[in-house]
Amino acid sequence: MQDFIDQANKNGVTLHDKGSCQFCGADYQKGIFDCMDNYNNRLQLLDFNNPEHQISRFLSVDAHALQHPEIHGRWSNHFHLTRLHLILDKNQTWDYTKSPMLSDYLNAYKLNRPNEFLSIPKPLERGKITAKDLIKATTANECVERIKKWAHEVYHAWSSSHSIVSQIAGGFIDNNYNGNAQGRKTKYR
């Protein structure tokens, strides 16, 4: 994974190192740098052997990435928004084996769409809940509930791209769960 500072530079974005996070608005002292350093702080409450907690981990990664798309590659948006769609709208149970499958599927998908972009919501308009709100959680269940609300807010903030990720999710499900062997090289139809 490329360093987020390098990716921001590649995207022509100047990162602020003072005040609140310029992307999600979380109240920090050193902007995006504190946001990146602290977003995992409360996840230690979770037991990643518990499937619900494991899904919360994916939701938190997706929510954080989509609140900060300027520091990630553009196809990262497709991946994280599609995974949110699969978990939140399609009720897919997610685990660590499925992320590489989705990545492979997206690699095949993007070959035919090199100029496709998702419409990125404006900074500070990608959900009001941020990773910093997780620090208020004192139990694993409370952390899980906060992450779910956060993921839903971020997902809805990206609603203008839901039709694209719905198509991707449908193809991913068809390719991986309707008779095709898992792990097989995929072609987007």
pLDDT digits (tens, 9 = 90+) for 125-172: 999 999 999 999 999 999 999 999 999 999 999 999 999 999 999 999
Cα R_g (the chain), whole angstroms: 17
Domain count for the chain: 1
Domain that holds residue 165: 18-177
Q: Is the pLDDT of residue 188 over 70?
A: no
Residue 13 lies in a domain: no
HSE (side-chain half, CA atoms, 13 Å) at 114: 1
Q: Would you say residue 5 lies in a domain?
A: no
CA distance 34 to 56: 22
pLDDT tens track for 49-77: 898 899 999 999 999 999 999 999 889 99
**4 assigned to some structural domain:** no
Q: Does 161 map to a domain?
A: yes
Three-state SS string over 50-76 comes to CHHHHHHHHHHHHHHHHHCHHHCCHHH
Q: Considering the domain boundaries, does residue 22 fall inside one?
A: yes
Identify whether 12 is part of a domain: no
Whether pLDDT at 178 is above 80: no
The answer as to whether 115 is a domain residue is: yes
Q: Residue 155 falls within a domain, yes or no?
A: yes
* Minimum mean pLDDT range among 16-20, 107-111, 183-187: 183-187
pTM comes to 0.91
Distance CA 170, CA 71 (A): 28
